[in-house]
Structure 1
Amino acid sequence: MTTVLLIRHGRTTANASGVLAGRTPGIELDERGRGQAEALATRLAAVPLAAVVSSPLERTHQTAEALMANRSGVPLHLDAELTECDYGHWSGRDLKTLAKEPLWKTVQAHPAAAVFPGGEAMAAMAARAVTAIRRWNAQLGEHATYAVVSHGDIIKAIAADALGMHLDLFQRLQVDPCSVTVIRYTATRPFVLRLNDTGGDVAALIPPKRRSRRTSSRSLSADSDAVVGGGAGS
């Protein structure tokens, strides 16, 4: 089972002022965002990570660096496939102004059909993000727990895929700055363990001791099965 911690970057100057940053260069964490990233790093300190994968934009890189402050030997990878959606001509504009655009209603109600002028289709964004996660799962291995530091719409798209939701429903999901969304991928299905977690205890994310090969092979299907009735929890 591969466990992915999807982390949205901390709050930025653009978030605080209601501007759609997109891929605009130079957008960094504000004071509150830096505090959020430091608090997140402290909260996740006990969770062993095989790697940290980050979008290459400044705000995600800064959040990833905070997460890795006391993790010697943990590699940091930058992956452009997990970067922010290309909002094209919408980038850098005030959200209140964008809400008056005809495309806004499509983005809200039918995002699978939304294509940003001069930018990217939301369906293409979702496809590249999900493909990137599957690629990292395969590369890091079935026993890995790793973190991905990315952006709100990217994380919502990955979570929607794990939930079996059509992209048109992904606006029902909320992903706050420095929140943690956790997905465990098994041989037959993903399990969404947390969504938009901004302060929960993380002890359940620490992997148990590795079982023997014989026990592991016997329980492979059990790892992929949902517990009927809900089970006793972690």
Structure 2
Amino acid sequence: MPRTIFLLRHGQTDFNVQGIVQGSGIDSSLNEMGRRQAAQFYAAYGHVPFDKVYTSALRRTQESVQRFLDAGHPHEAHAGLNEISWGVREGTRITLEEDAEYREVLAGWAAGSTDGRLTGGESPEEVAARQRPVIELLKSRDDERTVLVCMHGRAMRVLLCQLLNYPLSYMEGFEHSNLCLYKLEFTGTVFTIKNFLDVSHLQVAG
């Protein structure tokens, strides 16, 4: 019987609204909308008997699933699931239109140069390397049939490439939005996506 992984991006923060890069160095909290998104996700999935809830070490992920922790689900935080470090640019607004270095680095990643990084930051290869021990942990815990993993946009793209055996250069293919869900099944050898960029839980009135 396959195991099920609910892979969730954290809810909205004020930095998300302002277009400011957070990365692993900005430990922001959810804003009012983010807290509402978290409540909507719990309303839709609070009945699921999660054996374990995993988050990054950053508060915006734990806040996104706090209702599950309050309900008694076991929880582990792993820094290996933290967002990519954007180096000296964390806490600043970065856009493709305005920032040549950012544009160049992202283009390099898409072209296969996934060891590139912004000044002082991490490369996707480095993020992938710190995720691997967490992936091996998830794979090894056969008794955890259904788990919830809450993390971050860019790091989630890297993780999905690793789980599905895609090159990291494909990571832009995994779109994300605040409190979006990717639902995966794991047979013991192979991961497959069952729900892709699912936000149906956010479209319920309220």
Query: Shorter-chain TM-score category?
Result: 0.7 to 0.9
CA pair 143-51 structure 1, distance change in 2 beyond 3 A = closer
Report the residue type matching 2:119 in the other structure.
Answer: P
Q: Percent same amino acid at aligned positions? A: 23
**Which secondary structure does the structure 1 equivalent of 2:200 belong to?**
coil
Report the residue type matching 1:181 in the other structure.
Answer: Y
Aligned partners of 1:99, 1:173: CA distance in 2, in Å? 24
- Is the CA contact (8 Å cut-off) linking 1:8 and 1:151 kept in structure 2? yes
Aligned partners of 1:98, 1:169: CA distance in 2, in Å? 22
Query: How big is the shift at 1:176?
Result: 1.0
2:131 maps to what in 1? Answer: 129
Query: How big is the shift at 1:68?
Result: 3.0
Query: How big is the shift at 1:64?
Result: 2.1
Report the residue type matching 1:83 in the other structure.
Answer: N
Could you tell me the TM-score, scaled by structure 1's length?
Answer: 0.77
1:60 equivalent in alignment to 2:42: no
- More divergent stretch after superposition (177-186 vs 154-163): 154-163
Query: How big is the shift at 1:134?
Result: 2.5
- Is the CA contact (8 Å cut-off) linking 1:37 and 1:67 kept in structure 2? no
- More divergent stretch after superposition (117-126 vs 157-166): 157-166
1:157 maps to what in 2? Answer: 158
2:79 maps to what in 1? Answer: 80
Aligned partners of 1:123, 1:26: CA distance in 2, in Å? 22
CA pair 155-26 structure 1, distance change in 2 beyond 3 A = closer
Query: How big is the shift at 1:84?
Result: 1.0
Could you tell me the TM-score, scaled by structure 2's length?
Answer: 0.86
2:93 maps to what in 1? Answer: 94
- More divergent stretch after superposition (147-156 vs 126-135): 126-135
- Is the CA contact (8 Å cut-off) linking 1:162 and 1:192 kept in structure 2? no
- More divergent stretch after superposition (142-151 vs 126-135): 126-135
Aligned partners of 1:135, 1:11: CA distance in 2, in Å? 28
Query: How big is the shift at 1:142?
Result: 5.4
Query: How big is the shift at 1:143?
Result: 5.3
Whose RCO is larger (CA < 8 A, sep 6+)? 2
Aligned partners of 1:102, 1:151: CA distance in 2, in Å? 22
Structure 1: runs of 5 or more not aligned: 201-234
Task: Trace 1:1-234 onto structure 2 (pairs within 5 A).
Answer: 1-69=2-70, 71-72=71-72, 74-96=73-95, 99-108=98-107, 109-110=110-111, 112-138=114-140, 140-141=141-142, 144-199=145-200
Query: How big is the shift at 1:196?
Result: 1.2
Structure 2: runs of 5 or more not aligned: 202-206
Query: How big is the shift at 1:61?
Result: 1.5
Query: How big is the shift at 1:35?
Result: 0.2
- Is the CA contact (8 Å cut-off) linking 1:130 and 1:157 kept in structure 2? no
Q: What is the total number of aligned residue pairs between the two structures?
A: 197
